[in-house]
Structure 1
Amino acid sequence: MGMANGLSLSTPSQKSLHSRRIVLSTVSTAALTSLLTPGVARAESSGANKRKYQRYPSIRFIAALGDPKSSSGDGAEAWGLWRDDPGPRGVYLKDYDRRLLSNNNVAPAGWTFDPRDWWVEEHGLIMSTPEPLPRKSYDGDAKVVLPEKRYVVTGDRAVTTILTVRENGSWELEEGTLYDVTHLPCRSAAYRGETCAPKNANLVDFPVKPGAEMPKIDGCNKQDYAVLFVLGEEV
């Protein structure tokens, strides 16, 4: 999702997928390394409360809702998480009948299409529905469950910082705004409704320009989400 701008509605080449993996790996290494230097998001405090962060083997993706100009807010209980890049595992809208419907709504990559809540990215790929974003963590030293969780997030631009989400749905960034940690080329929206179906999509609406809203689809209620790269989490 998001790293292969300008693709038409055709199967991505192996070269483009390989390039995306290289770019994502570079983002993960450079941004998370910068987090360990002074002045980046005030990520660590001194003494017994010093935080430690663990890098993920590969970038994860948060689907977030909120005011792009805000550094904090509510509603994180409605945010989602993809543990793997959902784009390469997706199915193009034009291929829905052949690759999903004819296979009992199971994608070749193994995920199940949910007709009540289906997601599309900027190139017209139907993606797996993200899981709810975990908002609690475990303190192994104290052997207690904490009502909050911290992630290292970036939009692959100027800001790499710490996102704290809490069990009550509140969230805050230690630096910057939601816009600053949104990866603008990645576009993502959920489509829902009783008469909402992939066959209603207008394929000429894809690909979507970076920063633009995802297109409307007849019979669907659309909800656009910001996409954040997640590099690691507090441990």
Structure 2
Amino acid sequence: MSMSMISIIGSFVFLSSALFQQGEALSVDGPSILSRRAAVSAALSSAALASASLAPSAANAATEEKPKRSFRRYPSLRFISALGDPKSSSGSGSETWGLWRDDPGPRGVYLKDYDRRLEANNNVAPAGWSFDPTDWWVEEHGLIMSTPEPLPRKSVNKETKEIIPEKQYVVTGDREITTVLTVRDDGTWELEKGSLYDVTHLPCRSAAYRGDTCAPMNANLKDFPVKPGAEMPVINGCAKQDYAVLFVLGEVV
């Protein structure tokens, strides 16, 4: 999922405006958000922060009351691996989704280096993560990545400390839409705005390769890099599952 630069500034203009209008603002003056292979930082003016909102529009405010929400911005960009109908704004199956808390690309190992950097090291990557020969992940440039952890689908009420069987994330595809994704303990999910396609970052391609006969040396290196929006290549002996990649800016708290 490596890229030269993520134009994430627009997403933060959008998000930050919502936070100022809904209550607790996320600071945009702290550590810069990590992009794929590059750090993006910007000084956002108050005028810029007034340009967009996750809150209801002024036209709808008189007829639709929405509870105020607080958001917590993550110190670095996170990534969700998601499965679902790209045209849908809701569905089920989020129990199969994953989360990378750190950019898995720079911590990855190229397919061509599998034998000397993973196999020769008891399937432990230089970055410290373990490689499972029967279930492994690859991104669009041919980097074997760490397996994402299961996506958390529960939260805690900050006042009552009660466990809530759902969790809300601020997600974007780094295009036109930044919105709130709700995932629930029963596996259902929904977006407040747009479809799964709208919050998928198209240049980031990701797939899991699984099976007892599945091996990195079976990959055709000429299949990489993968074009934005295209499916990940088939690897002989592997069952493949493509995943959409969502950028996660923060969460509702």
Same fold (TM over 0.5): yes
Q: Which runs of 5+ in 2 are unaligned?
A: 22-51
1:26 aligns with 2:9: yes
Q: How does 1:160-199 map to 2 (within 5 A)?
A: 160-199=178-217
The 2-side partners of 1:172 and 1:163 are apart by: 6
Q: How does 1:1-235 map to 2 (within 5 A)?
A: 1-4=1-4, 20=5, 23=6, 26=9, 29-36=12-19, 40-42=53-55, 49-235=67-253
State the TM-score, normalizing by the size of structure 2: 0.81
Deviates further, 25-34 or 88-97: 25-34
The 2-side partners of 1:190 and 1:43 are apart by: 38
The 2-side partners of 1:154 and 1:102 are apart by: 38
Alpha-carbon distance, 1:34 to partner? 4.1
Number of the residue aligned with 2:43: none
State the TM-score, normalizing by the size of structure 1: 0.87
CA contact (8 A) 2:7 2:174 kept: no
The 1-side partners of 2:165 and 2:53 are apart by: 25
Q: Which runs of 5+ in 1 are unaligned?
A: 5-19
Note closer, same or farther for the CA distance 1:194–1:173 as it changes in structure 2 (3 Å cut). same
Alpha-carbon distance, 1:49 to partner? 3.9
CA contact (8 A) 2:11 2:178 kept: no
Q: Quick one: percent identity of the two aligned structures? A: 72
The 2-side partners of 1:26 and 1:196 are apart by: 40
The 1-side partners of 2:248 and 2:182 are apart by: 12
Aligned length: 218
Q: Deviations over 1:95-136 (max 9, x none)?
A: 000000111111111111111210000000000000000000
Q: Deviations over 1:46-74 (max 9, x none)?
A: 99942111100110000000000000000
The 1-side partners of 2:75 and 2:7 are apart by: 11
CA contact (8 A) 2:107 2:145 kept: yes
Note closer, same or farther for the CA distance 1:185–1:206 as it changes in structure 2 (3 Å cut). same
